[in-house]
Amino acid sequence: MRKKIVAGNWKMNNDKNETKILIADLKESLKGVELENTRVIIAPAFVFLQRTAKKIKNSKLEVAAQNMHQEESGAYTGEVSAKMLKSVGVNTVILGHSERREYFGETDTLLTKKVNRALQHKLEVIFCFGEKLEDRKSGNHFEVVKAQLKNALFHLNSEDWQHIILAYEPVWAIGTGETASPEQAQEMHAFVRELVAERYISDVSEEVSILYGGSVKPANAKEIFSKEDVDGGLIGGAALHADDFLAIINAI
């Protein structure tokens, strides 16, 4: 049975103290909660990853990085490698977030390299993809998503897919307060699962978790998560408030 996952992308938010408090609140609140087949992942900023990895040991939380560099090591000032992440206890990395694509020029070609490097180091990848508003308006959204997945992931073999989590994040719904309807999310998730099924002969498509991201809030989480092909959420803004994030976890 594929896993349900709720992942919080904290982006460039929270200083040291705020990070400490949020983690402590989440840890404490999740103590008595039975998380059946559900993983809870938080992705604080790079500088807090090592400390977070230590703090969440023996708790129900897991930690992820928000990004990593595609090269093994070298003269890449300001960058962080897969090996560095692993060495501080991080086992999951978010790649391909629309903000990385938009503000840092990340292309499918670059993301292929990042995915390969992450897998080489046995890092699990939460791979984000999704169409822009103009793609949806022109009816191109399926084609755009298909190209993003094909270009960055379809060279992988079936075994690699055990370390891939997909996150459908329509760009027009991220941080805008506008959410894809549960039907729109289900339609795209089913399309993606079918694409994976066409590409891989094994049961990869049934096993891969496909998360929805884009203005998920306590008020809409339950309806979105109730859809057959939605296996959880990648949460931005609402992940910064313990109560909201816990309500979203509860909704799953």
Minimum distance from CB of 175 to ligand PEP (Å)? 4
Q: Which residues contribute to the site for ligand PEP (CB under 6 A)?
A: 9, 169, 174-175, 213-216, 234-238
- φ, ψ for residue 244 (rounded to 5)? -65, -45
Based on the residue annotation, tell me whether 69 is a catalytic residue of this protein. no
Q: Answer for the pair 183, 205: CB distance below 8 angstroms, yes or no.
A: no
Provide φ and ψ at 148, rounded to 5°. Answer: -60, -45
CB of 34 to ligand PEP, least distance (A): 25
Q: Find the catalytic residue in 69, 97, 141, 189.
A: 97
Least Å distance, CB 215 to ligand PEP, is: 4
Closer Cβ to ligand PEP, 232 or 237, answer by number: 237
CA dist., res. 4 & res. 19, Å (int): 24
Please, which residue, 174 or 230, has the CB nearer to ligand PEP? Answer: 174
Describe the crossing of helices 182-199 and 141-153 by its angle, rounded to 10 degrees: 40
Catalytic residue among 62, 106, 131, 169: 169
Q: Quick one: 174 or 208, whose CB is closer to ligand PEP?
A: 174
Q: 100 or 121: whose CB is closer to ligand PEP?
A: 100
Q: Closer to ligand PEP by CB, 33 or 175: give it.
A: 175
**Orientation of helix 108-120 relative to helix 141-153, angle to 10°:** 40
Count of beta carbons in the 10 Å neighbourhood of residue 183: 11
Least distance (Å) between residue 10 CB and ligand PEP: 10
* Closest approach of ligand PEP to the CB of residue 32, in Å: 26
Residue 11 or 86 having the CB closest to ligand PEP:
11
Query: Catalytic residue at 163?
Result: no
Nearest approach, Cβ of residue 202 and ligand PEP (Å): 29
Cα dist from 49 to 79, 95, 193, whole Å: 14, 16, 32
Active site (catalytic) residues: 97, 169
